[in-house]
Amino acid sequence: MNQEDKSIRRYRATRKVTLVGAAVNVILAIAQIAGGFLAQSQALIADGFHTLSDLITDFVVLIAAKMASKGADEDHPYGHERIETIATVVLGLALGAVGVGIALDAVDRLQHPEKLLQPGILAIGLAFFGILCKEGLYRYTYSVGKKINSSLLKANAAHHRSDAISSVMVAIGVIASVIFGVPWLDALAAMAVSVMIFYMGAKLILDSTMELVDTAWESEKVESMLLLIGEVPGVENAHMLRTRKMSSNVLVDVHIQVSPHISVSEGHHIAEQVMSQLKDEYDEVSDIMIHIDPEDDETAAPSKHLPDRQTLLQFINPILLEQGAADVVKFILIHYLDGNIELELSLSHPIEQNQITSIQKKLGDITGVETVNFLLKL
């Protein structure tokens, strides 16, 4: 399945889950707010407005998932998955604002006892109804989020779980207020709900911000990737492995060391094998950039100061012409290794040993050239 098909499949699954969550939240919000006023429970009313905010974030999730499902284009060559991350930040900000609002209202009521509400029996039933709805949404949303590896759905699932926990606090506060007849316990439960909401919002913002600044994948995953790369035939070493998360995807950059004397096409083939192995093993990996090294460039001497092929040929060709070997040498292979140059001259037919010795001596005087070898092409 290509990346575009994967994005469409994820969007459809996200849309279905979000629409189900929105329907449940509409019913629950109406029941909690109306029931809260009827049952005289501030905590229940607060939980109802919290549920109403969930409805808003459900639509944020839906819109973000739709936009993020678009494939890569000229302006966005890595796709649009970052939109999910930004939407998660927005979701976190919304939660934080709701938490602050509920807390301020609860503090105001505690400071003015005449505003405190005395919950009735109906509030207890509605509180337990809220717990069942939120926990059910959490389990459903998280299972789908895990299946399609959607950070946005997992964030929304965590949101539902925090709602369930806050509903438990509401239930405790309401029950305590009804049994003991102490109205400020209901207000304290509302404050506890606000703290939980604010905490979850802050966590979503922090996690998403870390993703926006290209935080690396888990260290144990990176270590296992290095081990897997090292097992691919032709790979002598792997280093400088870098990863960065983008929504549900992981982008990978890595240097692999191969034999310095293989062909470019063989090195490319080895790189393709590495890419295939990584994508087969890790569903999260969507893009891989592989740099082929003929040596360990973390320890070898740099070769950037050495002359390029065009400059070398300006020295080599006159020497071959002078030695009568210009028509015999069919191809010159140049190796840049450990700050030096190795030359391999491919011959169409044998030449005299004194010619070989003379050519080796003169080519060895060229700056940077360390060794000169001759190969007879049969």
Per-residue pLDDT tens digits for 146-198: 887 776 777 778 778 777 777 777 677 667 766 766 667 666 776 777 787 78
Which tens digit of pLDDT belongs to each residue from 54-106?
Answer: 776 777 767 766 665 566 556 554 555 666 677 777 777 877 877 787 778 77
The pLDDT value given to residue 335: 92
**Which has more confidence, 213 or 272?**
272
Take residue 217 and report the two structure tokens written for it: 């994948």
The pLDDT value given to residue 363: 92
102: closest CA among 172, 34, 32, 194?
A: 194
The pLDDT value given to residue 73: 57
Instruction: Give SS3 for 333.
Output: strand
The pLDDT value given to residue 115: 52
Which tens digit of pLDDT belongs to each residue from 214-224?
Answer: 666 778 888 89
Mean pLDDT of the chain: 79
**pTM of the entire predicted model:** 0.57
pLDDT of 228 higher than 80 = yes
pLDDT of 234 higher than 90 = yes
Written as one letter, the residue type at 318 is: P
